[in-house]
Structure 1
């Protein structure tokens, strides 16, 4: 029973994190546009190429998480990305609802991704089904 609980927890974490990432990536792609996202990243002092990589990572990495592909790698990269984002937003205070966004949301996402890194994809994933 306990193994099934861990596998269901992994599934829930993968879907939650994956959907959030795909949604944020698609927002950057279709609402803010790649050029607008790159301009915003430039205001933060980041190279424009980072914006394009972020959009691709959020959409592709999010889809990979949903299906359970390369879960630990994507989760670890997510932890790194979210820590960087939390640092970028740290001057804006705790609440992500603050002007400029705070660091609460990226910190939560980093911890969620870290939990997924430790749990792994679980058996309810493409990798888990392949291994059966």
Structure 2
């Protein structure tokens, strides 16, 4: 299975809503198997000054949003490490084989809120990732 998420599909608000939706609540949790992801690592490559490629892999994902969230968490933490406060999603390609999900994502990082609708406030996203138990860079 190979999927590409369009540019406008991932925003800070969408990511946070998606991460919150990942945890089953109430009676739904009783009827579902426990979510037990295995995060298999993050590879980061600087493509040019502010353009960064993140490759992540995980097993136990429930679907595309889980692996996309892992890549977004990596991008947000990387932006903070570099002294920037924001990231903008450019594209994410996702592939799943044998239960291992892989994402190849590209983000720009910047000190100020970039133009566009697929932006991440790095501090907010990293805090939410920590609350959700999603590792970062």
TM over 0.5: no
Task: Return the TM-score normalized by structure 1.
Answer: 0.27
Task: Return the TM-score normalized by structure 2.
Answer: 0.27
Determine which structure has the larger strand proportion and give its number: 2
Please tell me whether Structure 1 or Structure 2 has the larger radius of gyration of its CA atoms. 1
